[in-house]
Amino acid sequence: MNRNRAVVLAQITLGAALAIGALASCQVFGIASAIGQNIEREKKIEVLAKYAGLDNKRVAILVKADMGTVYEHPTAVPNISFNLAQRLQENIPGIKVMDPRVSMNFQHQTPNWSAQPLGQVAEELDVDRLVIIDLYEYRLTPPGNRYLWEGVAAGNIGVAERDGIDPDQTVDQWNVSAQFPLDAGVTRESMPLSSVQTGLLATFIRNSAWVFYDHIEEKYPDTKK
């Protein structure tokens, strides 16, 4: 009887040990899986330029927006013009970007410039390339809600080549957008206006500049919230 009891006790002990071992293995696997997912989320990738034809070229940046955007956000267009020019100048070999004050003055003095043949515009500015940004959306709050921050900037970017096959047409167009802040439900009380403006412009300018040179991006940017 004692011998049978000892056998049963040994079997129970062995079963418990196996169960604990299996549980520990599951926990280790779960931890390893979570670590693997975090590593994957943190990965960065190299992204090639969508257009690499600005090297060693004279370039003018022309940003246009509707009158409502210009009236409500008067600093948006100048900020994009100046900061995009700086980014391109710093990252593209041999490029010579026209002083944004000159290109913006041209736009002011020639309000119908966008209706002119682009080759003619390039000749008047004496540049090889026109980088044209059509800013079709720019807002800091959701439509109809002034109490939350939901910054969105979006535009189409085109390039006209003065020495191209058809200098009066853009060779291609790319849609660029930005959102700031990424978190939903951010209120005016929790974040100042200046932070939203700066964050949105910085993100849009960075994304616009990335069209023109190779760079490193986060593999999963939408998970950074």
What integer is the mean pLDDT of 26-41?
55
Residues 6+ apart with CB under 8 A from 126: 58
Residue 59 in contact with residue 103, Cβ under 8 Å? no
What integer is the mean pLDDT of 72-81?
97
pLDDT band at 157 (very low <50, low <70, confident <90, very high): very high
Q: Give yes or no for residue 3 having a pLDDT over 80.
A: no
Annotate 47-84 with DSSP letters as a single string: E--S----TT-EEEEEEEE-HHHHHH-TTHHHHHHHHH
pLDDT band at 66 (very low <50, low <70, confident <90, very high): very high
Domain residue ranges of the chain, discontinuous segments joined by +: 2-42, 47-223
Collapsed DSSP state (helix, strand, coil) of residue 217: strand
Q: Could you give the percent of the chain with pLDDT greater than 70? A: 79
Closest CA to 77 of 108, 54, 53: 108
Residue 104 in contact with residue 81, Cβ under 8 Å? yes
Tens digit of each residue's pLDDT (9 = 90 or more) over 90-140: 999 999 999 999 999 999 999 999 999 999 999 999 999 999 999 999 999
What integer is the mean pLDDT of 7-29?
55
What integer is the mean pLDDT of 18-39?
56
pLDDT value of residue 141? 96
Question: How far from the centroid of its chain's Cα atoms is residue 176's Cα?
Answer: 7
CA–CA gap between residue 55 and residue 53 (Å, rounded): 6
CB atoms within 10 A of CB 170: 18
**Going by CATH, does the domain composed of 47-223 fall within 3.40.50.10610?**
yes
Q: Which residue has the higher pLDDT, 178 or 25?
A: 178
- DSSP assigned state of 113: G
Q: Which residue has the higher pLDDT, 61 or 2?
A: 61
Tens digit of each residue's pLDDT (9 = 90 or more) over 169-203: 999 999 999 999 999 999 999 999 999 999 999 99
